[in-house]
A = this chain, B = another copy of it.
């Protein structure tokens, strides 16, 4: 048996009502309960789910409809639940009054007046009203994050097209998460400020990327959501392309990470073409797609979320290290290795990156020797006949390093430092001194980038971290692995990526938000010191669409 009642003129957001509904369902004698605003969509839902009661036909979108499934025949249950609902609404209102006072407005106009520099509207009101508010926001020059779902594809395309024409972006509909200039929008994670710009048509995809980037000890500049339909043929990736262009123009975002389900083929081509024009490394994850290639120009394709994050973090680390080395574009790479296997792996990786052939004969320790690039294993018999191994004695390598003074074409020197028992007491210092001498001899006109990896642990007598510190202090880029070292080397000699030049949208310098819908989103922004006004949105004219349209045309 269904009992029902209506609480008039008490608009609440749907999530608050769901949580209240859940609490009330634990009341005695209640089998199931449904607590919803009386919008047309909710009324259909109440009917479809067997909670309909004739009373509800009178309810407006500003009224709360309560339907109780129970075995109790008389009206006492209605009274009891009505009291419990009032108490819950009161608790909700009180809970929202803690902390700093939140700016509130009852109308769009008031909201704009209270926050004249608002440039973002976060919309989480019922879907049937969301598009109209979004259009209003765009007309007033604000970007839109639309958490709401149940917005039609036609509305989505219309809104995104309008946004594009104004240099704005619509994130969503059904966009669960974003983080713009440190402002957590909706279901957002806080990450250390960093240089990876995240773009995604997937809420938890973005969240997991941020989570894994943080685990990989890098940070995030911005995270832009698109909504799950953005890369379908119907929407055509309008927001994806806007987001890519925005972050391309953003100096903070030096590496981009992109996640979505596999796009429609036409959209895929467009998005990939766009990525290639950005002038920045991009990691792309089209989850579930088979990647025909691993690398396509500046785009690296990943297969899983954690791999995409790890690759983005590695590329970010490489950008950081590249910035500390001199410009040596067009130079040749010379690798002088003490470890034979390290030399072999270095040659193999570099050959793959530069499209060269590694040496197969290994004569005189040469692991790669083509087009002016050379990787040499100085532990080869050719160098160690009657002389100690370079892991024991730095002389041979130091001589080879000194010779680079006469090889101005060499722009990058790759080195390994192998520590542990048996090895030199302090190989880093000797290497650092020799590099310093070499750089002095070559002078400013012949810049040399120097990259090293360290093989060994913290427990080794020489202590890994101390060796790294010595090398770093000497202006040597110390990388975590050979793939990182060779990637940095190839990047340093490559011509810099050239992207479209454009100025970054103002939104990326900081957002001021008008929040319509879930009040807690406004609280979270305020907690993070983001300017926010909570627009206490309620359906116009009590939700009467015809009356609302008349009022709109009167404005």
A residues at B contact (CB < 8 Å): 15, 18-19, 22, 34, 36, 42, 45, 49, 176-177, 184, 186-192, 202-205, 207-208, 210-212, 214-215, 259, 261, 287-288, 304-306, 338-342, 344-345, 348-349, 358, 385-388, 391-393, 395, 416, 418-423, 454-460, 464, 480-483, 520-521, 524
Asked if A22 meets B421 with Cβ closer than 8 Å, knowing A190-B459, A190-B460, A460-B189, the reply is no
13 CB < 8 A contacts A-B: A18-B388, A22-B393, A49-B386, A184-B420, A186-B422, A189-B419, A190-B460, A202-B341, A204-B455, A207-B339, A208-B455, A211-B455, A288-B358
Asked if A191 meets B259 with Cβ closer than 8 Å, knowing A19-B388, A204-B339, the reply is no
Q: How far is the CA of A340 from the CA of B342 in the complex (A)?
A: 42
Q: Distance (Å) between the CB of A209 and the closest chain B CB?
A: 9
The answer to whether A203 and B340 touch across the interface, beta carbons within 8 angstroms, is yes
The answer to whether B18 and A392 touch across the interface, beta carbons within 8 angstroms, is yes
User: A458 is contacted by which of B207, B214, B358 (Cβ under 8 Å)?
Assistant: B214
Which B residues are in CB contact (< 8 Å) with A207?
A: 339, 418, 420, 455-456
Q: Distance (Å) between the CB of A339 and the closest chain B CB?
A: 3
The answer to whether A187 and B420 touch across the interface, beta carbons within 8 angstroms, is yes
* CB closest residue in chain B, given A395: B22
Q: How far is the CA of A454 from the CA of B186 in the complex (A)?
A: 18
Asked if A340 meets B204 with Cβ closer than 8 Å, knowing A49-B385, A187-B423, A385-B45, the reply is yes
The answer to whether B287 and A345 touch across the interface, beta carbons within 8 angstroms, is yes
Instruction: Other than A190-B421, A203-B339, give 17 A-B pairs with Cβ distance below 8 A.
Output: A19-B392, A19-B393, A177-B420, A189-B420, A189-B457, A204-B416, A207-B456, A208-B341, A211-B456, A214-B457, A215-B480, A287-B341, A288-B348, A305-B342, A305-B345, A421-B521, A422-B520
Which B residues are in CB contact (< 8 Å) with A42?
A: 386
Which B residues are in CB contact (< 8 Å) with A344?
A: 261, 287-288
Q: Distance (Å) between the CB of A88 and the closest chain B CB?
A: 15
Which B residues are in CB contact (< 8 Å) with A464?
A: 211
Which B residues are in CB contact (< 8 Å) with A345?
A: 287, 304-305
The answer to whether B304 and A481 touch across the interface, beta carbons within 8 angstroms, is yes
The answer to whether B524 and A208 touch across the interface, beta carbons within 8 angstroms, is no
The answer to whether A482 and B305 touch across the interface, beta carbons within 8 angstroms, is yes
* CB closest residue in chain B, given A524: B421
The answer to whether A305 and B191 touch across the interface, beta carbons within 8 angstroms, is no
Which B residues are in CB contact (< 8 Å) with A339?
A: 203-204, 207-208
Q: How far is the CA of A306 from the CA of B464 in the complex (A)?
A: 16
Q: Distance (Å) between the CB of A390 and the closest chain B CB?
A: 11
Q: How far is the CA of A428 from the CA of B283 in the complex (A)?
A: 31
* CB closest residue in chain B, given A342: B204
Across the A-B interface, give the 6 residue pairs with the lowest CB-CB distance, nearest first.
A204-B339, A187-B422, A306-B481, A205-B341, A190-B459, A18-B388
User: Of A208, A341, A386, which is in contact with the most chain B CB atoms at under 10 Å from its CB?
Assistant: A341
Which B residues are in CB contact (< 8 Å) with A191?
A: 457, 459
* CB closest residue in chain B, given A202: B341
Q: Distance (Å) between the CB of A224 and the closest chain B CB?
A: 16
Which B residues are in CB contact (< 8 Å) with A423?
A: 187
Which B residues are in CB contact (< 8 Å) with A18?
A: 386-388, 392-393
Q: Distance (Å) between the CB of A526 and the closest chain B CB?
A: 11
Which B residues are in CB contact (< 8 Å) with A421?
A: 184, 186-190, 521, 524
User: Of A19, A420, A422, which is in contact with the most chain B CB atoms at under 10 Å from its CB?
Assistant: A422
* CB closest residue in chain B, given A260: B341
Q: How far is the CA of A186 from the CA of B391 in the complex (A)?
A: 12
Q: How far is the CA of A521 from the CA of B45 in the complex (A)?
A: 79
Which B residues are in CB contact (< 8 Å) with A306?
A: 480-483
Q: Distance (Å) between the CB of A156 and the closest chain B CB?
A: 17
Asked if A459 meets B177 with Cβ closer than 8 Å, knowing A45-B385, A304-B483, A481-B212, the reply is no
Which B residues are in CB contact (< 8 Å) with A459?
A: 189-192
* CB closest residue in chain B, given A348: B288
Q: Distance (Å) between the CB of A171 and the closest chain B CB?
A: 15
The answer to whether B457 and A15 touch across the interface, beta carbons within 8 angstroms, is no
The answer to whether A202 and B340 touch across the interface, beta carbons within 8 angstroms, is yes
Q: How far is the CA of A202 from the CA of B339 in the complex (A)?
A: 9
* CB closest residue in chain B, given A212: B481
User: A391 is contacted by which of B187, B348, B482 (Cβ under 8 Å)?
Assistant: B187
User: Of A192, A387, A418, which is in contact with the most chain B CB atoms at under 10 Å from its CB?
Assistant: A418
Q: Distance (Å) between the CB of A535 and the closest chain B CB?
A: 18
Asked if A287 meets B45 with Cβ closer than 8 Å, knowing A15-B388, A339-B204, the reply is no
Asked if A204 meets B305 with Cβ closer than 8 Å, knowing A189-B456, A392-B18, the reply is no
* CB closest residue in chain B, given A523: B421
Which B residues are in CB contact (< 8 Å) with A460?
A: 189-190
* CB closest residue in chain B, given A484: B306
User: Of A15, A19, A186, A388, which is in contact with the most chain B CB atoms at under 10 Å from its CB?
Assistant: A388
Q: How far is the CA of A207 from the CA of B200 in the complex (A)?
A: 40
Which B residues are in CB contact (< 8 Å) with A184?
A: 420-421
Which B residues are in CB contact (< 8 Å) with A341?
A: 202-205, 208, 259, 287, 305
Q: How far is the CA of A249 from the CA of B134 in the complex (A)?
A: 67
The answer to whether A210 and B482 touch across the interface, beta carbons within 8 angstroms, is no
Which B residues are in CB contact (< 8 Å) with A422?
A: 176-177, 186-188, 520-521, 524
